[in-house]
Amino acid sequence: MHARAVAATTTALLGTAALLSPVPAARAGDTGEPTVLAHRGASAYAPENTLAAIDKAAALGFTWVENDVQRTKDGTLVVVHDDSLQRTTDVEQVFPGRAPWKVKDFTAAEIARLDAGSWFSRSYTGTRLPTLAQYMREVEHNHEKLLLEIKNPQLYPGIEQQILAQLDNEGWLDRRHLDRLVVQSFSADSLRAVHRLRPAVTTGYLGTPATGTLRRYAGFADLINPSVGSISAGYVHAVHSVDGPHGRPLRVFTWTVDDAVTAWKAVGYDVDGVISDKPDVVRAALRAG
């Protein structure tokens, strides 16, 4: 891996494409350990996809946070995982006649009334479901880096362009921020759109494409981000063997790794990043292992 990182750095220094698109360092300080990313924020310890969850990640010492972005009925980008508000808010109580409580059927003002914390713990009562604008400001305030997932893009036509425009407005598409941002999706079409609209943005495909198809994904994705149960050392090696759209080897951030044994397994596979609800548990395992 070290040799691969050195080769990648050399390519980054020489390649025009690389100069246009700074790809985030896979391993801080080139320690040989994978980057640990806080999944939906530090979501084992604070309500997922809230400002509290990314504050908790920062408090634990983690720089990278992952989130999920969708869109309200009136066109506001919001940070929430499920396509329904039912599981992670009190929407059933506040709007009892509106089943199945889809995100796309509620306005931003209605969503702003919801409690997105008490389902998790009473101590988080009153926590709000953030807009992407509010979330980005907190990421900036915390000096964090963002793995932004476009969730359910098939429900939100044009969401790629809208997300990129908002990131641009928030100053997140300048050179200083591009190495702090990865946009990922389970949808290849959505990622293709992101790459076409803003080729400098680093992108990650969520899934485990067959090794024979990796070159196709490498046309628009810098990372392949598979579930940890779906991969092997051989698979990760195959991904690393293919160059991505910015002329550097594809990288792998795997999910969701919440215990020491699985963390060690992921390290054995030579992944570049580990996405975890319990990033502190993964960090402790990496230090011990």
* Residues in touch with ligand G3P (CB under 6 A): 39, 66, 68, 81, 149, 206, 225, 255, 275
Residue window 54-83: x/- pattern of binding to Ca ion, with contact defined by CB under 5 A? --------------x---------------
CB 202 within 8 A of CB 24: yes
CA-based torsion, 169, 174, 180, 185: positive or negative: positive
Report in angstroms how near the CB of residue 254 gets to ligand G3P at its nearest: 9
Contact between 272 and Ca ion by CB under 5 A: the answer reads no
- Which H helix or E strand runs over 181? strand 181-185
Nearer to ligand G3P, 89 or 184 (CB): 184
Provide the minimum distance between the beta carbon of 38 and ligand G3P in the complex, in angstroms, as a whole number: 10
Q: Using CA atoms, how far apart are residues 101 and 24, in angstroms rounded to an integer?
A: 37
Q: Considering beta carbons, is residue 103 or 206 the nearer one to ligand G3P?
A: 206
Site map (CB under 5 A) of Ca ion, residues 149-188, x = contact: x---------------------------------------
**Whose CB is nearest to ligand G3P?**
255
User: Sign of dihedral through CA atoms 171, 147, 222, 9?
Assistant: positive
Number of other CB atoms surrounding residue 164 within 10 Å = 18
Nearer to ligand G3P, 18 or 148 (CB): 148
Number of residues in contact with Ca ion under rule CB under 5 A: 2
Beta bridge partners of 276: 38
For residues 34 and 204, which CB has a smaller minimum distance to Ca ion in the complex?
Answer: 204
Cβ contact 211:232 at 8 Å:
no
Burial 182-195 (b: 16+ CB within 10 A, else e): bbbbbbbebbbbbb
